[in-house]
Amino acid sequence: MADHHSHSHFPTRTPVPPAELPGLNGLLTLAVGVVVIAALYVGREVLIPITLAVLLSFVLAPLVDLLRRAYLGRVPSVILAVLLAFAIMLGLGGLIGTQVADLARGLPTYAATVESKVEAVRDAVQQRFTQMLRSFGQERHGAAQPNPGSAPAPAGQPPPVPVQVQQPVPGPFELGQRFLSPVLSPLETTAIVIVVAIFILLQREDLRDRIIRLFGSRDLHRTTAAMDDAASRLSRYFLTQLAVNTGFGCIIGFGLYFIGIPSPLLFGVMAGLLRFVPYIGTWMAAAIPVVFAAAVDPGWSMVLWTALLFVFVEPMVGQVLEPMLYGHSTGLSPFSVVVAAIFWTWLWGPIGLIMSTPLTLCLVVLGRHVERLEFLDVLLGDRPALTPVESLYQRILAGDPDEAAEQAELLLKERSLSSYYDEVALRALQLAASDSRRGVLSPQGIEQILEATEELVENLSDHPDTEPAPEKAAVEPVAPSSLAEQDFPKRPPPPVLNKDELPPGWQSEKPVLCIAGRSPLDAGAAAMLAQLLEKHGLGARLVRAHKVSRAEIASLDVEGVAMVCISYLEVSGAPSHLRYFLRRIRSRAPNAPILVALWGRGEEVRPDSRLAAAIGGDYYASTLREAVELCVQTALRAAEPARTAVAAAE
């Protein structure tokens, strides 16, 4: 009997299932990933030219389409576009060669300047070091060391005979191979890239259909969306990057020309090309002219102006121009760009470093459209890893309401306060209620969540419940599509009532009594409702469920209460306890209409629904916006007889 009595005070908790071991699908995915990486490394000699050809086709595809719209035909458009790209590459190569030849003529002068500067710096350092030694009273002592030379040969022995090793004179074939192989290898790769790019551009539609047949014939919509997304993102990225880097190189070239650096075209072209290398490319391009300026100018002013040119131009291009052209994002997170650069450089060398961003962008697009590869989008993409609901719940679990309020401030730039509470805060509380039902939250954890929620509501007390003005809305979306605008369409909040508009029964300081349900988390939702009612001119008072228990209902203060709102996050099964809950409230406040808010139940709580009939309330709501609207409408209806009487008297 004692055991039964003791167990009655502790409700049973649902055991939390243990963590599952990696399944067969996960192991197969890992094995496939290892095989793919190994294949990329082993086959890099073949895959690098093909990948370059594919990327080149993305760059030339818009030009080919433009030429085809000019009625040039498919084959002439492709050939003309490829010839134009090849001519640009040859022109750049010839320009670089000419500029390098011009610089070579002045190398002796530049070497002498550098040597004089090095000697000046060395002398200054030695002089400073000597002064330091003298200041500390140290004297230099050195003993003459014997000159280490070879010992004299013993008397009577002949001197050693020197031995010389001579390589055989290379023949013409060896000389040709030695000097032509460094040149033929890039030319061979370039030829392969151009030929493959021509065939890709000529057979684009056929290749697209074959890829769809191979990978996505069962889901044509998703496969087509993925291919269109990849093509548009890559083409936009390449063209924008090409335009930005070309402009950057022109600005650097003109700046170096006015500074007085010889061959400014060479350094401008190098700056534009090296900027394709993520992060370090710009500063590699800056280091070369800075060092060269030190070799040209006997002083240091030219070095300073060259460094200032890069320090000023790069942030302007990277932080102002690129975000405007890219639409604030390329689809990759900054961390993924760094990791991708390291990975592809390790895999394919310097070419991999240049191609790391577009290749990683392809992986992100693949992860967004292939369910099994979603982890690529999570790890490499720039979209938030957590939805606003999950992010808020995580911050509340961590006991960090300040960071939760900071996230809310961003969302409130696009949504009203009631929309934020409905779309984010209530759903976060529902996640907490679900975890509580599963038994993963302790009573202390639930109280911590409630305290964090109440502090969040308090932090947002200064925000009005109005839709933000269009000009004040965020430039880029701060919340992903998971806010479910189809469930919570944007509509203007209810009007704000003046106290003079209210009937006599509603003119008390707190005419609405908000009662939280049995769960501690219900108090968080009730606090949001009370705050919204205050913002719309209806004072509200919050009480916990224990105040409506059989033992304490007689002491419940209902003076000046014109309406009662009951807040429940979850009602499972037959809500008999809620029906008796309402009976006790009616016995205490018989004239006050009762609104039952079952958050998130949607169509289940319509006035003519089965659940509503079992509860017996006067009004029902499933969102905070709906609950506030019902309270405002009830107050206005109660004021109609008084307004009618005034109008009749007049």
pLDDT digits (tens, 9 = 90+) for 452-491: 888 888 888 888 888 876 544 333 333 344 443 334 455 6
Q: Which is more confident, 415 or 179?
A: 415
pLDDT grade for 355, boundaries at 50, 70 and 90:
confident
β pairing state of 594-598 and 619-621: parallel
Q: Which is more confident, 545 or 650?
A: 545
pLDDT at 158 over 60: yes
Q: Which is more confident, 219 or 517?
A: 517
Q: Where is mean pLDDT largest: 68-72, 216-220, 606-610?
A: 68-72
Core vs surface per residue 553-591: b (16+ CB within 10 A) or e:
beebeeeebbbbbbbbbbbeeebeebeebbeebbebbee
Strand partners, 516: 567
Per-residue pLDDT at 204: 79
Determine the average pLDDT of the residues in 146-150: 49
CB 81 within 8 A of CB 66: no
Q: Tell me the CA distances in angstroms from 227 to 250, 365, 408, one per residue in order.
A: 34, 9, 35
pLDDT grade for 8, boundaries at 50, 70 and 90:
very low
pLDDT at 412 over 60: yes
Per-residue pLDDT at 464: 85
Residue type, 613: A
pLDDT at 563 over 50: yes
pLDDT grade for 46, boundaries at 50, 70 and 90:
confident
CB 413 within 8 A of CB 363: no
CA 560 to CA 505: how far, in whole Å? 7
- Best CA proximity match to 585, nearest among 506, 515, 640: 515
Per-residue pLDDT at 101: 78
Per-residue pLDDT at 328: 46
Q: Which residues contact 473 (CB under 8 A, 6 or more apart)?
A: 413, 414
- Best CA proximity match to 379, nearest among 344, 414, 322, 338: 338
Per-residue pLDDT at 167: 60
Determine the average pLDDT of the residues in 227-241: 75
pLDDT grade for 647, boundaries at 50, 70 and 90:
low
Structure token pair of residue 41 = 């490394």
Average pLDDT, the chain: 76
Q: Which is more confident, 575 or 621?
A: 621
Determine the average pLDDT of the residues in 602-630: 78
Task: Identify the residue whose tokens are 């390589």.
Answer: 167
CB 347 within 8 A of CB 37: yes
Structure token pair of residue 606 = 């319509």
CB 436 within 8 A of CB 521: yes
Q: pLDDT digit string (tens) for 297-314?
A: 777 788 888 889 888 988
Per-residue pLDDT at 243: 83
The region that residue 399 occupies, defined by phi over 0 for left and psi between -120 and 50 for alpha, beta otherwise, is: left
Strand partners, 564: 513, 594
Determine the average pLDDT of the residues in 1-6: 41
- Best CA proximity match to 399, nearest among 453, 436, 458: 453
CA 88 to CA 465: how far, in whole Å? 58
Task: Identify the residue whose tokens are 């809500």.
Answer: 575
pLDDT grade for 575, boundaries at 50, 70 and 90:
low
CA 513 to CA 595: how far, in whole Å? 10
CA 221 to CA 224: how far, in whole Å? 5
CB 262 within 8 A of CB 297: no
Per-residue pLDDT at 518: 80
Per-residue pLDDT at 585: 87
CA 560 to CA 547: how far, in whole Å? 17
Structure token pair of residue 246 = 């070309």
- Best CA proximity match to 632, nearest among 465, 486, 515: 465
Task: Identify the residue whose tokens are 């065939």.
Answer: 199
Determine the average pLDDT of the residues in 605-625: 77
pLDDT grade for 7, boundaries at 50, 70 and 90:
very low
Percent of the chain at pLDDT exceeding 70: 76
Q: Which is more confident, 382 or 461?
A: 461
Q: Which is more confident, 165 or 48?
A: 48
Angle at 560 between CA 558 and CA 563, to 5 degrees: 75
Per-residue pLDDT at 487: 45
Q: Identify the H or E element spanning 596.
A: strand 594-598
Collect contacts of 483-492 with beta carbons under 8 A, ≥24 apart. 483/388, 483/415, 483/423, 483/424, 484/423, 487/423, 488/419, 488/422, 488/423, 488/623, 488/625, 490/415, 490/419, 491/625, 492/467
Count CA atoms closer than 13 A to 644's CA, side-chain side.
6
Structure token pair of residue 173 = 């074939």
Determine the average pLDDT of the residues in 129-148: 57
Determine the average pLDDT of the residues in 226-248: 78
